[in-house]
Each structure stands twice: as C-alpha cells, then as structure tokens.
Chains A and B, each alone.
Chain A
Amino acid sequence: MITEKRLTLVFALGLVSTLTLATLVCAYYNIRYEEQRRLSERYINQYKELSEKYLPLLKNYTALVKKYNKLLDNYTQLFNEYQAEKENYTQTLEEYENLTMRVNICIDYGNGTAQWYNDTLIPLGYDLLKATQLVAVVNYTYWETYQACFIDAINGVWNTDTWFWMWLKWNTENREWEYGPVSAGQYILSKGETVMWRYEVPSW
C-alpha cells in the first residue's frame, strides 16, 4: 500500500515536472513562432513594397540600358569612322611627308629675346621668305631692280636708320652662323636647315 502511494506520488511529481517543462518549451516556441510570424509578415510587406518600387526601376533601367546600348553603337560607329579617318590622315600625312621638310627658324629681336620655331614643316622648295611668313608676320618690299625682296619688319619690329633685319644660316661644318648670300626670297631652304633672323646694326 505504501509502495503504491510512493509510486503514485513519484508518478505525480514526474508528470507535473514533465508537463511543466513541456508547457514552458511549447510556450517558448509559441513566443518565438509569433515573433517569426510577425517578422515574416513584415518582410512580406516590405518585399511587396520593394517589388512595387522595383518594377518601375527595372523599366527605367531597361530603358537606360537601351539608350546606353544605342549610344554605345553610335560611339562605336564614330570610333570606327575616326579610326578610318585616322588611317587616311596618317596615309596622307606620310605621302605629304615626302613633299615637305622640316627646318629650324630663329627670330632674334636683338634685345636678348629670341624665338625658336624648331621642326617647322614647310613644302619642298620653299624659300626663306615664305617659310618665315609661316611663323611670323613679315613686311617686305620687292625691288624690281634687284629682283629681290627686302625685309622691312618682322612681327611689328621695323627697320630703322641703323637697325635692320638680317638673316643668317647655321654652317654645320664650321659650326658658326654665316650671313645669307642672297635675299630671303631667293634662298631655297634645304631639309633640316637652321636659319636665323637677327635685328642688328649691320657692320657696313
């Protein structure tokens, strides 16, 4: 009888303990489940809102991509044209190079200021006067008697009673400047030549 009572008591205690623990665990899961459910609902709503915003954005994006692709096509086309033009230009330039030459021109104003125009591209057979006119404003007078041009001014610096524009060429062998033997209009420049206009008081 006593053993039965003990067993009943033990069973009751075990049942109470198990039920209490099970209830607590279930309650815990219920709370967590409710939390998750609320979160899920929130996320679903957010997802819907985002989807609604996403679709117009996607449309805009698609339109932008189309525009971009169109621009890219245009660009590619232009680039191809540019490349073709560049090739033509390079080809022309190479052909043109055969008809031109490069010379170095110096303009010395006699006051310590000297301007250099190195590698000036000029057509073959150009004389000094024409070459100078490519890099500076030149005023000159043609003398019928001498059949030659006389330089009056370069870049607004005019000859005076004592100061004149003289031209010189660089002698590569002697490595010195030499006065030009003829007038500028009569002197045909050669490839790579270096010449100078100098504003000075002549020695004569």
Chain B
Amino acid sequence: MPLGSERILETRQIAVLSVLSALCIGVQLTPRPPNVEFTSLFCFLTGFLFGSPFGILLGALTMFINGFLSPWGLAGLNLPFQMAGMAIIGFAGGVYRKTLQSERFSVIHFVELPVMAAFLTLLYNLITNFGFALIAGIDLIFALIMGVWFTVIQVVWNTFLFTAAFIPMVEAIRKVWSGSAKP
C-alpha cells in the first residue's frame, strides 16, 4: 500500500472516530426518554472498529461529560460507576471483534448481537445500581429491583438498536474506509 493511501486511510479513520465521538456525546446530551440511549451502540461500535482502548476511552469520556451536562442533572458520586459501565461496553466491542473468525457478518451474528447488547446493558445497570446503592446506603438487590423498569427499558432498547443498527453501520463505515463510497 502506498504511503499516501495509508495517510488517507488514517485520516478517514480519524474522521469516522471524530464523527462517532461527536454523535455519541451529542446524542447523549440531547433530552430524551430515560434510558433510551445511543451511547452503548456508539461505544461498542468504536471499540469494534478501533479497538478496545478507543471504546473504553470514548465510553468513559462520554459518561464523564454526561455526568456534568446531562439533561437529567448531575451524576454526582455515581459518575465513576457510569464511566466504568460504559467503558466496559466499549471494551467489549473490541473483544467481540477479536473473537470473530471472519470480517463478513452471518446469521449467527444477528443472534449474538442482541444477546451481547442485553447482557452488556444489564452489566452496565448492575454497575451503576451498585454505585447508587453504595452512595445511598441501601441494599444492592433492593436498588436493582426498584430500578428494574429502567433496566428493562434500556435492555429492550439496546437489544433492538444493536440488532437493527450495528451491522449496517459497520458495513457503511467499511465502505467509507475502503473508498467505495467515493463518487
């Protein structure tokens, strides 16, 4: 590969990463129904496309900014837990790519992705509820139970979103990278 094309490729990567980061933070800070979010998808996608470190960084950074500028108010002492939860989702995106045997998606991935989304969202809620329980001085199980509807909403939403949007987005970004989307 010529030197010049490598540079163009890196530039496109940076551009995609910037767009994903901007979208991630912008959508996260937009007023919306509680726990209906796109951050998990973007962080997982970033981790998937650029590797776990980028996914972790974007997840933590987005939740850090969200902790101060969220339309739902300050995150307060729960902020580190939110950052950790979202960083894990970004990390999982990178790990998931490494487990793939082929760059091509198949039917099995349409089964895996919703399960991954549900599991990771559940894990995120477990971590943030743990933080809330720790701060409020209440039982973790009780916190999980009382917040179950928020968890259910987020799990259902992310399951749907990952199933519907993840693979098309990856395919679209790959096209941009390969240059086939150029006129």
Point out the residue from A7, A18, A28 that lies within 8 Å of B145, measured CB to CB.
A28
Q: Chain B contact residues (Cβ within 8 angstroms of A): what range?
A: 10 to 19
> Considering the complex, which residues of chain B in the window 116-147 have a beta carbon less than 8 Å from any beta carbon of chain A?
116, 118-119, 122, 141, 144-146
Which of B4-12, B31-39, B149-157 contacts its partner?
B149-157
Per DSSP, are chain A's interface residues mostly helix, strand or loop, or mixed? Answer: helix
Point out the residue from A3, A6, A16, A25 that lies within 8 Å of B119, measured CB to CB.
A16
What is the 8 Å Cβ interface bit string for chain A, positions 20-57, against chain B (1 contact, 0 not)? 11001101100100000000000000000000000000
Q: Are B108 and A13 in contact (CB under 8 A)?
A: no
Q: Are B115 and A13 in contact (CB under 8 A)?
A: yes
Assuming the contacts A6-B99, A17-B155, asked whether A28 and B149 have C-beta atoms less than 8 A apart, the reply is: yes
Docked CA distance A3–B111 (Å): 12
Q: Are B99 and A14 in contact (CB under 8 A)?
A: no
**Which residues of A sit under 8 angstroms from B145, Cβ to Cβ?**
24, 27-28, 31
A10 at the interface (CB under 8 A from B): yes
Per DSSP, are chain B's interface residues mostly helix, strand or loop, or mixed? Answer: helix
**24 A–B contacts, CB within 8 A, in A order:** A2-B101, A3-B108, A7-B108, A7-B111, A10-B115, A11-B115, A13-B115, A13-B116, A14-B119, A17-B115, A17-B118, A17-B155, A18-B118, A21-B118, A21-B122, A21-B152, A21-B155, A24-B148, A25-B148, A25-B152, A27-B145, A27-B148, A28-B145, A28-B148
Q: Are A10 and B112 in contact (CB under 8 A)?
A: yes
Which residue of chain A has its CB nearest to the CB of B101? A2
How close is A171's CB to chain B, nearest CB, in angstroms? 100
Q: A17-B155, A27-B141 are in contact. List 20 more A-B contacts (CB 8 A).
A: A2-B101, A3-B108, A6-B108, A6-B112, A10-B111, A10-B115, A10-B116, A13-B118, A13-B119, A17-B119, A21-B122, A21-B151, A24-B144, A24-B145, A24-B151, A27-B148, A28-B145, A28-B146, A28-B148, A31-B146
Which residue of chain A has its CB nearest to the CB of B121? A17
